[in-house]
Structure 1
Amino acid sequence: MIDAIYFDGQSSRRQPVTLIMHKRVVAMRGEGIKQSHRLSRLRLSERLEHVPRILYMPDGGSVHVSDPRLDKMLAANGYRESRVVGWQRNWMLSLLALVAVVALLLSGYQWGLPWVADQVALHMPAALEKKIGDGQLKLLDKSVMAPSELDPVVQARLQRLFADLKQPRGEKTDYRLEFRRSHIGPNAFAVPNGVIVMTDELVKLAENDQAVLGVLGHELGHLQRRHSLRRLMQALGVSVLLNVWVGDASSVVATVPTVLLDQKYSRDFEREADQYAIDMMQTNGIPLEPMAVLFERMEKYASRNGEASHRHEQDAKGEGRRSKSRKDEEEEEPEPLDYFSSHPSGGERVAKLRAADRAKK
């Protein structure tokens, strides 16, 4: 016999009672209270240190027991805790469970999320894809892009030369080539609506149509493999992916342009796009050496401008402040190129291009 507190489930009134267990029957006695229930019909709370155990009655009432002898009474009447409760009390099993949960979360992030992102990107409606790309291009034009100043004759020549190229494996990836003057220096990128943007600065740095065609082939590879959308879906996270999956795209349209501005492709995506460019150039009998030379120039450009930027920062710390005219001049200078950031190294990419050229000979 042990003491307990009974609550009838209808009020907050505490009623002292005594409990007796015999042959798997729980008998409860108190002032005006006389109940008996089979143990199998009761639900027991888990055992926690310094916390009363609760026996939940079929009628909605409950009995709170602080007496540690309850566990012996339960065991004597054949009550056995569930395996889960037993595992929780075993520190080794609890640790293993924690490790398993962490491993599951990391695996989901490493492999599960990219897989789901790919599925969402591959099944995204074309209208939504176009809307995302239009939003990104509009934002870029407002922030870092300006109308092209490249000779229209040069633009038309590059448009024609690239349009005449055959895509590898007979693919027919739709695209639209546009030119911009840019504050970010020599660059090219593709947006989800099928637009490939090439900056005037990149054309001037290349000094070679074949090199420009190779870079355009690289960007067409990003479009063909839908890298921008796949990377975007991964960056936005699970909640937005689910919204797109069930058809609520409003959160994506509102968030996407800003995210895309900071988006960088993974090394695997860059390697895929490089291989696509190689396949496209070789399909059309165009050597890859000009593209390799351009990549070397781009890397040197990035390094040179990065060092200049670092010197400007050191000068600013020493001088304390610059004149307004000097600030204006520095703001007009293009920022260091981020073409290789978080991607395979420039040396690796150049070596791959030249190796592909040698293998073709």
Structure 2
Amino acid sequence: MIDAYYYDGSTTRRQPVQVLLHKGILAINGESVRRSVRLSRVRVSERLEHAPRILRLPDGGHIESSDAGLDKLLRRNGYREPRVVRWQRNWHLSLGALVSLLMVLIAGYHWGLPWAADTLAQNLPPSMEQRIGDEQLKLIDASWMEPSRLSVEEQARIRKLFAGLRQPGGEQVVYRLEFRRSKIGPNAFALPNGVIVMTDELVRLAADDSAVLGVLGHELGHVKRRHSLRRLLQALGVGVMVNMMVGDVSSALAAVPTFLLDQKYSRDFEREADQYAIDMMRANGVPLTPMAELFAKMGAAHSHGAGNASHDEEDIDARDEGRIESEPAPRNGRRSGQSQIAKSFEYLSSHPSDEERIRRLKAADVQGKATRGTVGAGAGG
């Protein structure tokens, strides 16, 4: 027999009682309480170190007891703790559960989240993609871009050249090409609304039109595969995905500034975009080596600080327009804080010029030339 307190479930009154457990029957005896109930109909709370144990009765009342003898009475009458409770007290099983949880989380992050982002991106209404891309472009223009200084004729010429290329497989991917003068050096990037932004610095850095067209083909690959939107959805997580599925795009727009600071495509995305550019350039007989060489130049420009390129272009423009800088240039040839800006906004470098990429593009160029040569020889025979 143990001491306990009884609550009838209708009032807050606490009544001291004595509890007896025998042959699966729970007997309660007190000044104004005298009842019994089968133990199988009683819900017993989990045992905690610094809290009383609670026995919940079928009619809504309950018993609270901190008496250590209660556990012994329960065991003698055949009561067993629930399986989950027993697992919690077994450190081997607890450790196994923790490891399993970590594995599930890692698998979800590496495979589940990308799959969910891809699925949602493929089914997202075009109006949402347009709105997200528009907001990104506004933020970019307000922070890191200026109106292009390329002539209207030059911009029109590049647009016409790229529009004249056949897309792989007869596709008609909708895009819009925009030119901007950059504060972060030579670059090009694609937004979820199909806008491809190319900087003046990249056009000037390119050796010829083939390099520019190759980069634009690469960006069109990002548009085709919705890489920017998929990367955004992966970065923002499941909660934002759910909101967007029910039509609320505000949470995604609120997170756009944070996302832009970390907009680096995965290697898989980059390989897909590279392959799209390879297929497109091959379909139009455009060499790929100039594109590879341009990526190498871009990598060198970013590794040495894109601020140099931007500053050099600014000096050139100043001399062309007859303007003279009134303040002396720093000894390192950089405008104060320019290198820091370039370093902070490397997020737009969605074209890592690693050796693998350059080798792949040049190899594709060689293979394409060999294929054309074989076809030509066969036709001639």
TM-score by length of 2: 0.84
- Name 1:351's counterpart in structure 2: 359
Alpha-carbon distance in structure 1 between the residues aligned to 2:350 and 2:145: 23
Alpha-carbon distance in structure 1 between the residues aligned to 2:350 and 2:155: 30
Superposition misfits of 4+ residues, deviation over 6 angstroms: 306-309
- 2:231–2:265 contact (8 Å) kept in structure 1: yes
Between 291-300 and 324-333, the greater mean CA deviation after superposition: 324-333
**Unaligned stretches of 5+ residues in structure 1:** 310-322
Where does 1:88-237 land on structure 2 (aligned, <5 Å)?
Answer: 88-237=88-237
Alpha-carbon distance in structure 1 between the residues aligned to 2:290 and 2:100: 51
Which whole-Å deviations, capped at 9, do the CAs of 1:8-60 have from their partners, x for residues lacking one? Answer: 23344332211122221111001111011111111100122343211111222
| 2:74 paired with 1:74 | yes
Q: Percent identity over the alignment?
A: 61
Change in 2 beyond 3 A, CA 1:171/1:352: same
SS of residue paired to 1:229 = helix
SS of residue paired to 2:287 = coil
CA RMSD of aligned residues (A): 2.5
Alpha-carbon distance in structure 2 between the residues aligned to 1:132 and 1:339: 17
Alpha-carbon distance in structure 2 between the residues aligned to 1:39 and 1:339: 64
| 2:9 paired with 1:9 | yes
Change in 2 beyond 3 A, CA 1:242/1:260: same
Where does 1:233-312 land on structure 2 (aligned, <5 Å)?
Answer: 233-256=233-256, 259-260=259-260, 262-305=262-305
Alpha-carbon distance in structure 2 between the residues aligned to 1:308 and 1:138: 25
Alpha-carbon distance in structure 1 between the residues aligned to 2:30 and 2:258: 68
Between 150-159 and 32-41, the greater mean CA deviation after superposition: 150-159
- Name 2:61's counterpart in structure 1: 61
- Name 1:312's counterpart in structure 2: none
Alpha-carbon distance in structure 2 between the residues aligned to 1:91 and 1:47: 17
**Unaligned stretches of 5+ residues in structure 2:** 310-325, 371-381
Alignment length (residue pairs): 348
Change in 2 beyond 3 A, CA 1:89/1:220: same
Which whole-Å deviations, capped at 9, do the CAs of 1:122-156 have from their partners, x for residues lacking one? Answer: 11111111111111112211222112111222222
- 2:184–2:306 contact (8 Å) kept in structure 1: no
How far apart are 1:87 and its partner, in Å?
Answer: 1.2
The one-letter amino acid paired with 1:204 is R
